[in-house]
Structure 1
């Protein structure tokens, strides 16, 4: 994204629309509905932001991640998180080579283009923290040496909200590393019928016929994203939204405001701007508008607002509060 400079040309927008359309088609072939999920994956891919997916089991989280990787001809790694998982199981470590008489570095599964951390909250806090450097710095440190991660690099993490036995709640610092948090819902009856039809026809389990998009085109798309224009007034709008989560009494009813313990960090404001620009590009515009911010605000902020215990007791959710803030912060 950029605050000034020449806008994207018509040719660049056409080419970007073609690449985005190919990825959309590949995702839609195996994912029934779940339009928000597909859009979140695209936003994360374009804006180089990680995505946290929350839902009950069986709503295509793993399928979505694998389909995205296959559509890009990208290296995909799935890490099943368990309480006994060690940091080295993710990042890699040094292994003694008896023949050579020396330690050799074995890179872990995080060294991939798309990494799925399945049920991330089942791994211990120590193991969860091993992902912080990878997600933020896009590198790992093994034996004092730094190893860069491949480009593009996208982390998709899942967690199950209904089964909390043997889980470790993600820390605020870890949650803040995810650009978006998407909460998946059950499909409609018609959508579920279509899922069964595709499973019966073998579409879901069928191997990919080849990548729809070369990785170089994705890297080009990410460079185009950096040139999406966002006006200063839109940037100020995002700062007002983020500030409203920190000083909610200025915007919300005092009873609702008192339910917020901590608001969103400046990283959330950056994520709002980046996600809005990616949303604009997906919708064929070389510039962001307030509606782009509103479209992504809940996904950017829901996991960054820490509520007090009373909020849970009263059935108040972060989504409800974000919606209230969006209705009360003036739109430019």
Structure 2
């Protein structure tokens, strides 16, 4: 019996001697956030909670242009719009209470966007423990953008997870676009806050720091460079690339009118005819008479569409129809690729008024218009 005990004791000491250094140097909760990839994030993603198989989600990520093996810290550092990246534990009473009640560590990742904006994401992480020598991210708990004037909690927005995914895009332009959308979301919430509190106290830089002045609604809108007209934006009422059931077109005007009536029946919106743009070029068929059409439907808000019609020789037939950016304006076609010039938000732009030019490229894929990544 004594011999068996000695053998057990020796083996235990050896195993602890081998395991302890491995445990001490294995990844902790902070490392888990730094090394987080979309591959690891898959089980806690929205689609996974809806029952979509993991391999299908990862395939979807790849098809959408996301790098599923890119680590989170690298994604932040590779984005030219972000600086001063910091990933560390949340040190606060509520974080201690969360850990005591659930065993989860809260880790925050923060970055400076520019113009005084700070992006912060808080993750809940199952920390390593005895005989469990690795930490595991259990979810993103909070996404906020903060300035001196306002803190916007974007966590409950419908597209918060999509904005997070966008940071992992292989195309640098699109990963930067995700940051711009985050700032635009902040601007919207800040605008809503100001509209709900039109007489909020705003510091007057021309007086003592402790002095305040009361601003009217007009002052607030002028401060934000906002027009008094309704703000146009693009909703997501339907999936991109949707084809509307329309009859054979005949002339191009008839084909466009049929499509517009179909969209009107579905959405209740009316076309703003003066904004329609038509360009004839070789897109699908063998002639130069195919047509790309940019048109706008208005209801409470304005929605911009891009449609392509094939010229068969005797009539025009709808090939594809999709929603594009609401600021899209100028059309061009080269080698079957349709280019649409649009405006996007730069970091310093107010919500209402994007100023940075960008060209979006589309091609026909079956009966869909798909965006072509910029080379």
Q: Which structure dedicates a bigger proportion of its chain to strand?
A: 2
* Structure 1 and Structure 2 fold alike (TM over 0.5): no
Higher relative contact order (CA 8 A, sep 6+): 1
Pick the TM interval, shorter chain: under 0.3
Q: Which structure dedicates a bigger proportion of its chain to helix?
A: 1
